[in-house]
Amino acid sequence: MAPAADQEDAFFLPKKPTRDTLQSSLYLKPKPRSVGATTGGMQTRRILTNPPLARGPQSNEDSTTRRDAVTHGRGTITTKRHESTAKRVFQGASVFDAVDVDSNASDTGSDDPKLPTGDEYLEALKHLRLDDPSGSRFVYLKRLVLSQTHHDPYALITIEFADLGGGDEYYTMSALGITHFAKGRDAEFTSAQRWLRERALFTQTRSLSTFKRFRTWKGFVTWRTVVRRTKMKRASLVLEKNLFQLDVSLASAATEVRAACHALSSARLSSVTPGGLRTLEEFSNEAETRRVEMLERLEAFSKHTIQVVDKACASALAATERRLRDFFGAGESAPSTSFAVDDDATAKTAGSAALLEYSYTVTATRRTEQRRLVSFVKQLDYVIRDTLRFVLHDSVTDVLAATRQCPVGKFETPPPPFRQRLTHLWAQLGFTRMATAVNRNQRAQNARGGKAKSAETTRRLRELVREAMRENEYRKKEARLNSFAPTHPTLPNFRLKLEVKDNALCFVPNAETFQSAIQRVVRDFAHTLASVRRLPGDERLMSKMRDAFAADAGADAGDIGAGTTLHELQTDVTHLSLCDEVNRALRFGFAFAREYRTHYESFRLMAVSNRAIDLFEMVSKYRNGQIPLDEFRRKQITWMDQETRLQDLRVAQNVGIVQIDSTEFRDATTPSPIGKIAEMRETLPKLARDAYAEFIAEIHDATAKLSTRLDAAQELCDRMRFVQHLREGHMDVLTKRAEECAALYALVREFSFAVTDASAAEFATSEKDFNLLKTVLEDAEGTQEEKISLFASELEDRIKEVNREARELVKAASDETILDPDSGREKVEKLLRDLTLRAESTTAESQKINTIQVTFGSCETVFDVLKEAAADVALKVAAWAGDGAFDADVLVWAKTVFDKIDVPRMTDKMGGYVKLSARLEKGLAPNKMAQRFAAKVEDYKNLLPVINALLNTSMKQRHWDKVAALIGVPIVRDDFFTLQKILDLKAPAHGEAIGLVSTEATQEQALEEMLHKVVAKWADVCFQVVPYKESKDTFMLGGIEEISIALEDSMVTMSTIMSSRFVKGIRETVEKVEVQLSLFGETLDEWLAVQKNWMYLETIFSAPDIQRQLPNEAKQFFAVDKQFRDVMRKTRENDNALRAGTTPGYLQSFQNANEALDKIQKNLEEYLETKRMAFPRFYFLSNDELLEILAQTKKVQAVQPHMSKCFDGIKALDFGSDPKSVDIFAMVSPEGETVGLGKNLKARGNVEQWLCAVETAMIDSLRKQSKTSYLSYPKETRTEWVLNQPAQVVIMVSQIYWCRGVVAALGAKDVTGAMSTYLAKNRADLKDMTVVVRGQLTGLHRKIIAALITIDVHARDIVEELFTEKTQSANDFKWQMQLRYYWDEEIDLCSVSQTNSSFEYAYEYLGAQSRLVVTPMTDRCYMTLTGAMHLKLGGAPAGPA
């Protein structure tokens, strides 16, 4: 306990700021503290100390009261100033104490006698009043808290003084009364009588309902008020702290930054506008200029925004420092240190105990303010980034507006760049004009008289007017054809030059380059905008918030705006979408320009075609007769038309967003036709001159030949042949040439080509010269017979001379030295050369004589001696030449390296030598020369088989070793191994054996080639691995037909190879390949089996429901599945069939997999069998259909497609409108009839269970419906009753009542009358149904009534038959044979009877099926089947109804 002086001094000490005070003034968020923690601000000092009261004498009640008051209140008398201060302090303390007491108090009930009730002190008061009525003794009391909601100020409990523990509130009780002591208040004494009275009144008042609930109500209202006030105050503080608009400096900065962003948002990165034409260079320069301007503007924007934000942040931090200075400046111990924004001295201040004590609070305050500024910077950074996005979007949108001015589907194709012509119409008009002109001239010639001529003139004028009108109409059509007025006009933006490069049309720059440049510029928009310096990236600005980043471990200024501006702009969804639209628009625009470029292709091909035309070649072809003269006319007209079309070509053609500039193209193409026209201007006149010169020269030469004097028989012969040549057609040729010369000159005049006067004058004399030739020709033909007789004697002398020379030649060729091999070769060859020359000259003379004889028309002389002599000389020359050539070849072959011998050439030459030897033997007399040559040739011919055998390309080293073994000498095949060496080794002696070795090598080579083909084939045979059900990581083998065929062919080939007797040398290799193919075949079979079973089971076990129901089988399948998927994945990576199929372990793996899959399938069949046994109607479904249902047990709708197979009359079940509903409301027939299934029918549990429930519900529902309909039938009219019942029930109940009516009629006294009456009723019912069916009915009701009418007709026929045959009893067979329906009233069931058979109605739902007409055959079938069923047999009706 502190003394009173200390307590009073406490009121004058400077008040220390608490953490709560700093929070409210500096926007600090309160941090949770551990229980029991104290701070300097929360420490309080005791101001009042209440020592235990001493006992003393009391004179009377008043003095005692005053004494007690003074005694009890000792030390509590203070000045008003001290009292107000202490009251303020202790009120706060009492609140906390009360809270602590309430929180620790337990709810004490009065039911437990051991617990205090707060009334026990009254017994103590009673004893005090009895024992010490003077009040000298007293006891200490303390308030008893019974519960937190139950406040009773009169519930007290006695305690010891030691248990007070410095309590703030307690009581003392003496015989005189009770004194209440409370901290901060004067002691209050209440007499005992008054205390007891007030207690009694309090107890009675509290028993009232209002006051009984007052505490609870007041606590709730107080709590709600406090909570609302606290939340409002906290929200107000948060708004004041976080709303930057409430901060003047930050608000002005934000406004200024937004104004700068608004100004920047109007900027555009491109100046592309619709209709602004520009080339690529202009576009690039313009884009670069705009980019530089934008970079400068963005840099200025960055500097301005950073400067504004930096200034605002500095101002805010300075304001915070001022608040700190103001707060700590009050009092002597306030810190005197300057609080600058960048001053780090705060943490180092010495000599200030208060500053050191609150340094954490100061640092936290600064850090909080810096965090607030970080949020401010982040908010403005968001604004700037949004502005950049807007600028980017608007810029790209401008480009899109220029590149896509109209929808793609509405773009209209402009006409070609040249004028389109209606050629066929103009041709038709020209032909009509020509025909009309011919008719007009003919009519004018036939017109006689003035009236006829006047009528002809009028008709002519009308024809001319019609022609003019048609011409005007054609011109209008051409104008419409060439006009272009699009609904959605598009202005061009980009200019492309059209040029020809590398014999192809191209744009300069090409469209792809232009398009890429535009796309690059659009992409650079983001790079340009990314040059803006972000606020978090400014070091100077962010350095002001370094404490905030330092406090957050790992935080950085860059974390404020995660991601770069460039990345944000490039990945912006809207920007990407706009870029895609721009790219699509550019692709369409430039693609259409490329497509439109084909219109210019005709002009390029025209230039190419013109370059390919060589007029000199045309002239040459014309002279050779390959082309007509008209070809020159067509070419000239074509070139003139080309020149006109090029002059009319539109050089600036707008094609969507592109303008095609074809100026250079036209300038480059125009010289082509102009040059050809100029060339034709030179060539055609020259051709005419040359043709005339040749023609007139030939005319003059022919005239000279026919006019020359003849001096010899040969000259006469030549003239006669020339005359014959002229008469046999050459004169016609000359006539045609004369006409062609005239046509050439006419063509020259047609195109006004220049011709010299001299040429024109020469051409004018051509006709005179040609007539002179004809005259001379006739004279020459008249003198031929006279000239022939004149030269006959000369011809006889020449014949005699030739015969004499022939005899001398025979004599000279018979010299024996010529065929003597020992004669000198040079001498003989010189002699043979002389003889050959003599033979050739004599033969030529004989041929001339024969020619003259043929010309003169006499018989030809045969010179036999001369022919024999010439043949003999030629044969002898060949003998000596062949002998020399053979010796030279043998010498060359002997020195040639053996492997380099050209065997085919050697064989050809040897064949020639053999033929020559045979000719010599046949054509010459026996002589040594021929015999020796034949012997040499024969010897060398026998060597050829050995050479061929040894030079066989199939010979391997093992075969050469066999040959060496045959010869007995090792063979070294090097550069010195020549043919001569083979001869020296006497290899020809072993020719037959060597041939066998060569044959063996050839056969082995053939087998090796077959084997190589097999191996090579499988090197290229690959599996076709395809995705399984569009999966990306699961594959399967595709078509293997080609692989199977290849395997079969290969196995056949291997069998052929193995069965050959020449396989010995390669058997090991062949067996290796055969084993590999066999392994592949077995593996492939197992592989395909696994794949087939896997594909079947994969769909089944991929369903979670199947996995749950068959866990063991699913586990086995997924093991195989993993293995199969791995194999297929590896096969896809290495798809060579043979390599994959012979992978080690695959065969055994597939065999094991097949065994596992077979076992799984067997278990699956057993599982399905259990399901079918549980619901036998599942036997109507295939395994796949049943598995489809079982795989989707949670999806009850999966059973719908299969309901018609399980239930013949149910197409679907009605689950309501909710697709996830499991409530089954009704069954629906294929005809659309809906029949309810009752309530509480749900598709839960296993599918076979709830389907069994559906079956039961179907039967129960039909039974109930049948009973209801049975009972309602007599109460309603039949026509109305039919429309309210299911079709099946209608037939059944109707038949029940019909049966009942027939039985009643048969049981009546007057059976005939009753039957007649019932027959009339049947007919009336049928008539009523006929009336109903003719009215407005739904399709379902029409089907129901149609079926009922069918049955009613049969029923009427039966009644009519019973009436006709006078049936008198229900036991007659005529009635017993009918199919009868009865209702059992006791069990409410329908039964069906026929003859002696009776069955309960099965209530299987049949729907609203149509009924066929019931015939006597039908009745017999019914009777047969019911009889069989009665005998526990069955039936299978077949055939038509």
CB 272 within 8 A of CB 493: yes
Kindly report, residue by residue over 547-580, the tens digit of the pLDDT. 666 655 445 554 555 456 778 887 888 888 888 8
DSSP 3-state assignment of 600? helix
What is the C-alpha separation between 1162 and 1168, in angstroms, rounded?
10
What is the C-alpha separation between 1197 and 1212, in angstroms, rounded?
9
Contacts of 926 (CB under 8 A, 6+ apart): none
List beta partners, residue 497: 508, 661
What is the C-alpha separation between 1083 and 1153, in angstroms, rounded?
12
**What tokens does 1197 get?**
């709708």
Confidence of residue 953 (pLDDT cuts 50, 70, 90): low
pTM to 2 decimals? Answer: 0.42
Q: Which residues of 1012-1024 are buried (b: 16+ CB within 10 A; e: fewer)?
A: eebeeebeebbbe
CB 261 within 8 A of CB 384: yes
Kindly report, residue by residue over 1180-1215, the tens digit of the pLDDT. 888 888 888 887 777 888 888 888 888 888 989 988
E-strand spans in 913-1072? 1025-1027, 1035-1037
Percent of the chain at pLDDT > 70 equals: 81
How confident is the model at residue 1385, as a pLDDT?
86
Q: What is the 3-state secondary structure (H, E, C) of 1200-1232?
A: HHHHHHHCCCCCEEECCCCCCCCECCEEECCCC
Hey, what amino acid is at 1302? V
- 250 pLDDT higher than 60: yes
Q: What is the 3-state secondary structure (H, E, C) of 373-432?
A: HHHHHHHHHHHHHHHHHHHHHHHHHHHHHHHCCCCHHHCCCCCCCCCCCCHHHHHHHHHH
Angle, alpha carbons 1309-1315-1321 (nearest 5°):
130
Kindly report, residue by residue over 387-413, the tens digit of the pLDDT. 988 888 888 888 888 887 777 666 777
What is the C-alpha separation between 439 and 428, in angstroms, rounded?
16
List beta partners, residue 508: 497
Q: Percent helix, strand, coil in the chain (nearest 5)?
A: 70, 5, 25
Give the CA count within 13 Å in the CB-facing half-sphere of 472.
Answer: 6
How confident is the model at residue 149, as a pLDDT?
61
Hey, what amino acid is at 836? T
CB 354 within 8 A of CB 333: yes
Confidence of residue 120 (pLDDT cuts 50, 70, 90): confident
Phi-psi region of 1395 (alpha: psi -120 to 50; beta: other; left: phi over 0): left
Mean pLDDT of the chain: 77
Hey, what amino acid is at 1424? T
How, if at all, do strands 169-174 and 177-182 pair? antiparallel
In this prediction, residues 882-892 reach a mean pLDDT of: 77
How confident is the model at residue 1297, as a pLDDT?
93
CB 1067 within 8 A of CB 1054: no
CB 449 within 8 A of CB 518: no
What is the C-alpha separation between 129 and 938, in angstroms, rounded?
175
How confident is the model at residue 339, as a pLDDT?
37
Kindly report, residue by residue over 613-625, the tens digit of the pLDDT. 888 888 888 888 8
Angle between helices 671-707 and 757-764 (to 10 degrees): 40
Higher pLDDT pick, 11 / 1086:
1086
Look up residue 710 and give its DSSP letter: P
Helices (H), 1273-1415: 1278-1282, 1287-1306, 1311-1333, 1339-1364, 1373-1376
In this prediction, residues 1244-1264 reach a mean pLDDT of: 89
H or E segment and range at residue 660: strand 658-661
Contacts of 395 (CB under 8 A, 6+ apart): 268, 269, 270, 525
How confident is the model at residue 1226, as a pLDDT?
92
**What tokens does 35 get?**
């229980």
**What tokens does 407 get?**
């929808």
End-to-end CA gap in the chain: 121
What is the C-alpha separation between 1196 and 1208, in angstroms, rounded?
19
**What tokens does 1003 get?**
């056969």
Angle, alpha carbons 1155-1159-1164 (nearest 5°):
145
What is the C-alpha separation between 501 and 1365, in angstroms, rounded?
109
How confident is the model at residue 1392, as a pLDDT?
94
- 103 pLDDT higher than 60: no
Confidence of residue 1375 (pLDDT cuts 50, 70, 90): very high
What is the C-alpha separation between 870 and 1080, in angstroms, rounded?
77
What is the C-alpha separation between 743 and 857, in angstroms, rounded?
41
CA distances from 274 to 277, 400, 514, 1173 (A): 8, 10, 17, 78
- 682 pLDDT higher than 90: no
Confidence of residue 355 (pLDDT cuts 50, 70, 90): very low
Confidence of residue 70 (pLDDT cuts 50, 70, 90): very low
Confidence of residue 107 (pLDDT cuts 50, 70, 90): very low
How confident is the model at residue 1393, as a pLDDT?
93
Kindly report, residue by residue over 749-769, the tens digit of the pLDDT. 778 787 776 676 677 666 677
Choose among 1199, 1413, 1404: nearest CA to 1286: 1404
Confidence of residue 855 (pLDDT cuts 50, 70, 90): low
Look up residue 156 and give its DSSP letter: E
Lowest mean pLDDT, pick from 249-253, 952-956, 1295-1299, 1301-1305: 952-956
- 945 pLDDT higher than 60: yes
How confident is the model at residue 550, as a pLDDT?
64
Choose among 72, 379, 103: nearest CA to 255: 379
CB-based burial of residue 147 (10 Å sphere; 0-12 exposed, 13-18 middle, 19+ buried)?
middle
CB 1394 within 8 A of CB 1422: yes
Confidence of residue 259 (pLDDT cuts 50, 70, 90): very high
How confident is the model at residue 713, as a pLDDT?
63
In this prediction, residues 300-329 reach a mean pLDDT of: 84
**What tokens does 842 get?**
């004599």
How confident is the model at residue 66, as a pLDDT?
38
H or E segment and range at residue 1262: helix 1247-1272
Q: Which position has the token pair 């196995």?
A: 1051
- 351 pLDDT higher than 50: no
Kindly report, residue by residue over 1060-1118, the tens digit of the pLDDT. 777 777 778 888 888 888 888 888 898 889 888 888 888 888 888 788 888 888 888 88
Confidence of residue 989 (pLDDT cuts 50, 70, 90): low
- 32 pLDDT higher than 70: no
Lowest mean pLDDT, pick from 224-233, 473-482, 663-672: 473-482
Higher pLDDT pick, 188 / 247:
188
In this prediction, residues 526-545 reach a mean pLDDT of: 83
**What tokens does 865 get?**
């001696």
Kindly report, residue by residue over 571-624, the tens digit of the pLDDT. 888 888 888 888 888 888 888 788 888 888 888 888 888 888 888 888 888 888
In this prediction, residues 289-304 reach a mean pLDDT of: 88
Kindly report, residue by residue over 782-812, the tens digit of the pLDDT. 666 666 666 666 667 777 777 787 777 777 7
Q: Which position has the token pair 């962010």?
A: 542
**What tokens does 561 get?**
């705006």
Lowest mean pLDDT, pick from 467-476, 655-664, 976-985: 976-985
CB 1115 within 8 A of CB 1109: no
Kindly report, residue by residue over 1296-1315, the tens digit of the pLDDT. 999 999 999 989 888 889 98
Q: Is the dihedral of CA 1141, 1144, 1147, 1149 positive or negative?
A: negative
Look up residue 1134 and give its DSSP letter: S
Highest-scoring range by mean pLDDT, 715-719, 891-895, 1085-1089? 1085-1089
How confident is the model at residue 896, as a pLDDT?
74
DSSP 3-state assignment of 730? helix
Kindly report, residue by residue over 804-854, the tens digit of the pLDDT. 877 777 777 777 777 777 777 777 777 777 778 878 777 777 777 777 766
How confident is the model at residue 54, as a pLDDT?
35
Angle between helices 511-529 and 359-403 (to 10 degrees): 160
- 667 pLDDT higher than 90: no
What is the C-alpha separation between 594 and 955, in angstroms, rounded?
63
CA distances from 596 to 406, 505, 591 (A): 18, 11, 9
- 184 pLDDT higher than 70: yes
DSSP string, 1293-1328: HHHHHHHHHHHHHHTSSSHHHHHHHHHHHHHHHHHH
In this prediction, residues 1144-1151 reach a mean pLDDT of: 88
Higher pLDDT pick, 102 / 1350:
1350
Choose among 883, 873, 893: nearest CA to 929: 883
DSSP 3-state assignment of 268? coil
Confidence of residue 100 (pLDDT cuts 50, 70, 90): very low
